[in-house]
């Protein structure tokens, strides 16, 4: 049975999709003709799985739109199964299927599996197929860490390694603790084994994943110690991690980052707001002053570190003055890049109880002011790279210009340059000669 997975949302979902492919492909209790086989061609797929995101309402709407497109395929071939996994599956469960619940969305959805139920997917799919009945399994299992499972990687060059699952922070705007459950860290040795193997298979750029990697702890190993050990693995060349929570980013971590040659000079550190009252309402557990001092420490230890962030404009109760604190903080810090959003309520989160929402028009206007300022800063930051020599991990031909190769600097900037196809999957030195938008242009320089 051929299956395809369409993945939405964050890198955690990308990693989970790779895990699901591995679980299905390695499921042996089937007749050979019934074995699961991954395909990237939806026309060949008999099982279509949507790995979904619930962070924003928009993300859910997009997936529902895609599911509705695929329902017409199912109407032509009734043997096709449609399944939903991930955060939206966890949030809505059986409500996704009208047959089992009158408030449902699509009766054509055949199965729903929550984030801790992926190991049961082979049985769920089989039962669904044999009995022609809808199945939803969304119980949390806080012991589930998908131990001893190696993902089937779909990305050819970069490996994402999940080090922990879930989140305990309950930021008041965020649905994640409700869709991913409580925090649990994977065993150290298992993570290190997975990183080593990824490197041996040619995935030289490894990103460690977790909702809040800074609070990783397994027995007496915290995140800095894990990073230190990962840095000693010979088979990899670059190490990254997302996402960091400012309240848990320790001096110890900064020291390890600065002294570990494989750890790249980039950190994504979501600030969300530059105003202490709003940060408190968001339940972020740090102040703007603490955040700024953390950035200073990072820059003192690694002067060339690139810093990126997430920001919310127009959170409930945000006044113009409070918004200006965010605007000014971004101006002061000068991020390399920022993911900026207007606040949008997620039902089920604490923030929906706040009754003083900022009018939609004002949220959008504030967002636009942040975007305008950040665009100027990002452009200036990229221009500052002109004349620098950068190490590039060559990933592919450029999507915009097939005559150019494309890769990333250590500080996560896309760089394009002329070169031979044989350079793909290698590390080269490139002199930056221009910056256009958010892409660097470079010239290959010969090795000494
Ligand atoms: S740290 Fe906050 S924003 Fe991040 S996943 Fe947890 S609750 Fe959501």
Query: Higher model confidence: residue 355 or residue 111?
Result: 111
Query: With bands split at pLDDT 50, 70 and 90, how would you rate the model's confidence at 114?
Result: very high
Per-residue pLDDT tens digits for 191-203: 999 999 999 999 9
Query: With bands split at pLDDT 50, 70 and 90, how would you rate the model's confidence at 231?
Result: very high
* 203-222 per-residue burial string, b: 16 or more CB within 10 A, e: under 16: bbbbbbbbbbbbbbebeebb
Per-residue pLDDT tens digits for 44-94: 999 999 999 998 888 888 999 999 889 888 889 989 999 999 999 999 998
Query: With bands split at pLDDT 50, 70 and 90, how would you rate the model's confidence at 99?
Result: low
Beta bridge partner(s), residue 429: 391, 445
**Domains of the chain, earliest start first:** 2-137 (3.40.50.12160), 155-264 (3.30.750.210), 297-384 (3.30.750.200), 389-445 (2.40.50.140)
Q: What percent of the chain has pLDDT over 70?
A: 98
Residue 285 Cβ contacting ligand 1 at under 6 Å = no
Tell me the average pLDDT across 15-43.
91
CB atoms within 10 A of CB 238: 21
Residue 339 Cβ contacting ligand 1 at under 6 Å = no
Per-residue pLDDT tens digits for 245-285: 999 999 999 999 999 999 999 999 999 999 999 999 999 99
User: Edge-to-edge strand order for the sheet containing 337-342?
Assistant: 266-268, 306-313, 337-342
Beta bridge partner(s), residue 272: 311
**Ligand 1 pocket, mutate which of 212, 309, 348, 350 (most atoms under 8 A from CB):** 212
Query: Which pLDDT belongs to residue 58?
Result: 86
Q: What is the DSSP letter of 272?
A: B
- In this structure, which residue's CA is closest to atom 8 in ligand 1? 174
- In this structure, which residue's CA is closest to atom 2 in ligand 1? 171
7: number of CA atoms within 13 Å, CB side? 16
Indicate whether 447 pLDDT > 80: no
Residue 270 CA to ligand 1 centre (angstroms): 10
pTM score of the predicted model: 0.92
E strands of 59-193, at which residues?
81-86, 111-113, 135-137, 158-162, 164-165, 184-185
Query: With bands split at pLDDT 50, 70 and 90, how would you rate the model's confidence at 24?
Result: very high
Q: Provide the 3-class DSSP secondary structure of residue 161.
A: strand
Query: Which tokens hold the place of 382?
Result: 């990229």
């Amino acid at each position: 049975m051929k299956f395809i997975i369409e993945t939405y949302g964050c890198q955690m979902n990308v990693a989970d999709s790779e895990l699901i492919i591995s679980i299905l492909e390695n499921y042996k209790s089937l007749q050979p003709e019934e074995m699961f086989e991954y395909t990237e061609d939806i026309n060949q797929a008999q099982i279509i799985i949507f790995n979904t995101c619930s962070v924003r309402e928009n993300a859910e709407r997009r997936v529902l739109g895609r599911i509705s497109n695929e329902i017409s395929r199912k109407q032509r071939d009734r043997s096709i199964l449609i399944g939903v996994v991930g955060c939206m599956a966890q949030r809505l469960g059986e409500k996704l299927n009208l047959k089992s619940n009158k408030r449902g969305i699509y009766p054509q959805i055949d199965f729903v599996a929550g984030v801790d139920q992926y190991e049961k997917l082979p049985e769920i799919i089989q039962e669904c197929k044999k009995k022609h009945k809808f199945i939803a399994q969304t119980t949390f299992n806080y012991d589930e860490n998908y131990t001893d499972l190696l993902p089937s990687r779909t990305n050819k060059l970069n490996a994402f390694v999940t080090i922990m699952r879930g989140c305990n922070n309950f930021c008041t705007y965020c649905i994640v603790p409700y869709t991913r459950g409580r925090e649990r860290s994977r065993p150290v040795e298992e993570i290190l084994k997975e990183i080593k193997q990824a490197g041996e298979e040619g995935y030289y750029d490894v990103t460690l994943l977790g909702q809040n990697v800074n609070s990783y702890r397994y027995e007496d190993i915290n995140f800095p110690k894990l990073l230190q050990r990962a840095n000693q693995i010979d088979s990899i060349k670059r190490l990254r991690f997302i996402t960091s929570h400012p309240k848990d980013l320790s001096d110890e971590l900064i020291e390890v980052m600065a002294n570990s040659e494989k750890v790249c000079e980039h950190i994504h550190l979501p600030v969300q707001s530059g105003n202490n009252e709003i940060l408190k309402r968001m339940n972020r557990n740090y102040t703007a002053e603490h955040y700024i001092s953390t950035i200073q420490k990072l820059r003192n230890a690694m002067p060339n570190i690139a810093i990126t962030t997430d920001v919310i404009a127009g959170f409930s109760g945000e006044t113009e003055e409070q918004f200006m604190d965010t605007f000014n903080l971004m101006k002061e810090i000068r991020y390399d890049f920022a993911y900026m959003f207007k606040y949008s309520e997620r039902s089920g989160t604490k923030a929906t109880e706040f009754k003083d929402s900022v009018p939609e028009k004002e949220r959008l206007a504030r967002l636009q002011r942040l975007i305008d300022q950040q665009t100027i800063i990002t452009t200036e930051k990229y221009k500052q790279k002109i004349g620098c020599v950068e190490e590039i991990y060559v990933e592919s031909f450029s999507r915009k210009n097939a005559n150019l190769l494309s890769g990333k600097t250590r500080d996560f900037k896309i760089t394009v340059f002329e070169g031979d196809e044989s350079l793909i999957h290698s590390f080269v030195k490139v002199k930056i000669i221009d910056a256009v938008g958010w892409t660097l242009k470079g010239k290959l320089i010969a090795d000494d």
